[in-house]
């Protein structure tokens, strides 16, 4: 294959990249995972989302700074530049595993939303249908993928704005509903902190899973036109929008219905509209939720295939993964993602009731490790910039060190928690295997030279 065929095409516009990152973050974490965070922390989970949003901003700022200082380098390449082959190998494959699991979770969630209309159809079959749709989208040229993702993400952003607006009108009594005294739900049922500060902190794992996807900007940078100019504004806009789209909906859900009445069967958003008494509103919202998780899964296929391509170029993965098709897509990476999805659907077939909850715990751990890696890379690479970029992390190095320490404390706390035994065990096994493989592959590379 010719050299120019080995490079990904710069077919993504700034609006594509911004919405791709938003699509990765606004998915199962808010529409389905919000029921888990509310059960863990009650209304106080909004503070968990605020703290997580602060850490998200620091991570994104560090990533944006490096993307400008080292053009055409995505997350995996930046980690390789900072720490060499072994760390790049571990984090690269960890990131691929993370997004593979996220994609499976999003598709299973899509299947569960379809069950709202087709309750007799098994989850695995509906998820398989959804997988076929998004794989077909990813087999198109990247500019068409970006355009479709722009409209996919746009639907759920408009829906969240409508949900915030309608919910606010209901809470303040402007819009008639069947709900009496909604404001009392914030102080009743155990108060705003029903499980105390420890409950609020315990929700961090799902919150980290929810915010995971922001770093997709760092994956898409190699396919973005004029990335150095547009990335800073994209990062600032994406972070604040996501924080707003998480915190306001959670407050509205807690106001309209008691937090302890939120179930994991249907999305809290659908439950709220069902309680509001609006005819057909629950069906409309369920359609939006379906679109939302399909959008996030779409971003997941993009992330996994581009990560494999990047690792193939640096030798972290087999070189054949760096080959692209005539239309400019990493076809082998997409095919591997397809196989991974089939495995996830099989797990849903074996254990349809537990599989989503189990899988959602793993990306929370892995995304924290990736974020720690991004901040650590920025801490090391800052002195190697040929010239200081206009967009930089403020109060460096204290801001970056704070993020590393905070993320590390959250990570260690959850690893030691007995409630996260399954997720902790799986995460440690994955990291342990990757560490061992990094030594094996590194030694083989040295022997071949």
> What are the pLDDT tens digits along the chain (449 aa)?
344 445 555 556 666 666 666 665 676 667 766 777 787 888 888 888 888 888 888 888 888 888 778 877 777 778 888 888 888 888 888 888 888 887 888 888 888 889 888 888 888 888 888 888 888 888 877 777 777 777 877 787 787 888 888 888 878 777 766 666 767 777 777 778 887 887 787 777 777 767 776 666 665 555 566 656 666 777 767 667 767 778 888 888 888 877 777 766 666 777 777 666 667 777 887 888 788 788 878 878 887 888 888 788 777 778 887 777 777 778 888 888 888 888 877 776 676 556 556 666 677 778 888 889 889 999 988 888 887 777 788 888 899 999 999 999 888 877 777 777 777 787 888 888 888 888 887 766 665 55
* Residue 404 confidence (pLDDT): 93
Residue 390 dihedral angles phi and psi, to the nearest 5°: -65, -30
d(CA 32, CA 267): 5
Largest CA distance in the chain: 74
* Residue 401 confidence (pLDDT): 93
Residue 195 dihedral angles phi and psi, to the nearest 5°: -115, 20
d(CA 390, CA 277): 51
d(CA 294, CA 123): 15
Place of tokens 């909850």: 357
- The burial class, CB within 10 Å (0-12 / 13-18 / 19+), for 421 is exposed
* Residue 293 confidence (pLDDT): 80
Q: Please, what sign has the CA dihedral across residues 290, 296, 301, 302?
A: positive
- Are 330 and 305 contacting, i.e. CB atoms less than 8 angstroms apart? yes
**Coil, strand, or helix at residue 358?**
helix
d(CA 117, CA 111): 10
Residue 377 dihedral angles phi and psi, to the nearest 5°: -65, -40
d(CA 152, CA 85): 36
* Token representation of residue 28: 């199962």
Say how many C-beta atoms besides its own lie within 10 A of residue 442's C-beta: 14
Entry pTM: 0.77
Q: What share of the chain is helix, strand, coil (3-state, %, to 5)?
A: 80, 0, 20
Place of tokens 């403020």: 394
d(CA 6, CA 12): 17
Residue 180 dihedral angles phi and psi, to the nearest 5°: -100, 130
**Coil, strand, or helix at residue 266?**
coil
**E-only strand ranges, 71-197:** none
């Amino acid at each position: 294959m010719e050299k120019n065929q080995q490079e990904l095409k710069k077919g993504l516009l700034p609006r594509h990249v911004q919405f791709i990152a938003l699509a990765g973050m606004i998915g199962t974490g808010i529409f389905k995972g919000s029921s888990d965070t509310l059960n863990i922390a009650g209304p106080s989970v909004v503070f968990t989302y605020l703290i997580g949003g602060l850490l998200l901003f620091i991570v994104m700022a560090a990533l944006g700074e490096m993307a400008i200082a080292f053009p055409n380098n995505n997350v995996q390449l930046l980690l390789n530049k900072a720490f060499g082959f072994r760390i790049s190998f571990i984090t690269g494959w960890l990131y691929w595993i993370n997004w593979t699991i996220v994609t499976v979770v999003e598709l299973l969630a899509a299947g569960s939303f379809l069950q709202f209309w087709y309750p007799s159809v098994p989850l695995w079959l509906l998820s398989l249908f959804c997988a076929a749709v998004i794989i077909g989208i990813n087999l198109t040229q990247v500019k068409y993928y970006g355009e479709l993702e722009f409209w996919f993400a746009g639907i759920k952003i408009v829906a969240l704005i409508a949900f915030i607006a309608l919910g606010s009108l209901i809470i303040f009594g402007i819009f008639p509903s069947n709900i009496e005294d909604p404001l009392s739900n914030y102080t009743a049922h155990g108060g705003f902190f029903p499980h105390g500060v420890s409950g609020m902190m315990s929700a961090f794992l799902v919150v980290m899973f929810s915010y995971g996807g922001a770093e997709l900007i760092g994956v898409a940078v190699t396919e973005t036109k004029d990335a150095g100019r547009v990335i800073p504004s994209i990062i600032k806009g994406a972070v604040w929008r996501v924080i707003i789209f998480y915190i306001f909906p959670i407050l509205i859900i807690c106001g309209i219905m008691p937090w302890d009445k939120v179930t994991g069967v249907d999305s809290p958003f659908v439950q709220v509209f069902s309680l509001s008494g609006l005819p057909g509103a629950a069906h409309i919202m369920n359609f939006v939720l379906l679109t939302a998780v399909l959008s996030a899964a779409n971003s997941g296929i993009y992330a996994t295939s581009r990560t494999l391509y990047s690792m193939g170029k640096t030798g972290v993965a087999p070189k054949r993964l760096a080959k692209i098709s005539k239309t400019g897509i990493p076809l082998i990476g997409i095919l591997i993602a397809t196989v991974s999805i089939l495995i996830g659907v099989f797990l849903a077939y074996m254990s349809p009731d537990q599989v989503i909850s189990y899988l959602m715990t793993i990306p929370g751990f892995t995304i924290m490790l990736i974020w720690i890696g991004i901040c650590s890379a920025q801490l090391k690479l800052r002195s190697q910039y040929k010239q200081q970029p206009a967009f930089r992390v403020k109060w460096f190095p204290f801001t970056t060190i704070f993020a590393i320490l905070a993320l590390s404390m959250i990570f260690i706390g959850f690893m030691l928690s007995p409630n996260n035994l399954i997720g902790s065990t799986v995460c440690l096994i994955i990291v342990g295997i990757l560490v061992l493989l990094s030594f094996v592959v590194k030694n083989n590379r040295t022997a071949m030279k």
